[in-house]
Amino acid sequence: MIQIKKGSVQETLIIPLYARRMCNKRFASLYSDPAADEVCENLDYDFSEIEKKADTTAYEFGALEGAMRQLDMMWEINDYLKNHPNAAIVCLGCGLDQDPRRCGGAGNKIYNLDFPDTIEAREELIGVDPRETNIPGDINDLSWMDKIDAEGGVIFYAAGVIHYFKKEDVKKLVLAMAEKFPESRFVFDTVNERGFKMMMKVVLKNWDMKEAAAYFRTDDAVKELSLWSDRIKVSTRGYMLGYYDMKNPEVKAIHRFLAKIADKMLGMQIVKIENKHKAR
């Protein structure tokens, strides 16, 4: 058993993991993440405070949001691997994400990038898969790109990360990928202006509005991001209903209603950027 202390880096990582565990039980026909169950069972941590909220509609839907986002990301990874069977998979801001381990096979190298303390906590809690290389560092320090073996292609993805990046840094990241990794794919989630203000309400209290204005969100990802480079092709899908219709027995009518609001009114979407530049 691994003891998790209150206020530690480990605690910030296992709380979303618990939500995924809950989705395993409540939305079993839609979502499955056996690793979440296994990790939570091996932790010495008091989940009672979280469990008090677990039956509320808000918490259930929040957990479902996280589950759908991971399903979307895995869909994109597996879709890319159809045409690039030996591609590398790069998880940006990995936390305890183990989804790449469920995609592809022995020929697909996995790279996990996050801050050093997070990587340290990750290795303690879930170990290192034989296919994996963990890279401690800052995503905005692009030197990490030199460690990626993309000979067979590469798909990058960032789940719940880009909201915290300044627009200029997202653009720098996208342009660097387009230059360095021909025929690559980059997938991430984002929201529109209304969604940003709602999702980031607590965080915004700690920023002045001038600072908050610099952080990434978009009302039209295709139009805005396509202007960054003629090498990229940008497309989007709804975050909640763009890949799966959620017409499952466990998903309540209120969940589907909220999903429609999330996709349409809050602009919750998955952005896919294809690098059109061909490898020589």
Q: For the chain, how are helix, strand and coil distributed in percent, rounded to 5?
A: 45, 15, 35
Domain annotation for the chain: domains and CATH numbers: 58-275 (3.40.50.150)
pLDDT at 8: 86
Instruction: State residue 156 phi and psi, 5-degree precision.
Output: -105, 145
pLDDT at 269: 97
Q: What is the pTM of this model?
A: 0.93
pLDDT lower than 70: segments of the chain? 202-210, 279-280
Q: Residue 7: is it exposed, middle or buried by C-beta count within 10 angstroms (0-12/13-18/19+)?
A: exposed
pLDDT at 197: 87
Residue given tokens 């984002």 in the structure block = 190
Residues 6+ apart with CB under 8 A from 149: 88, 109
Q: What residue ranges in the chain does DSSP mark as E strands?
A: 2-3, 43-44, 88-92, 110-114, 132-136, 154-158, 185-190, 232-238, 269-275
pLDDT at 35: 87
Start-to-end CA distance of the chain, whole Å, equals: 50
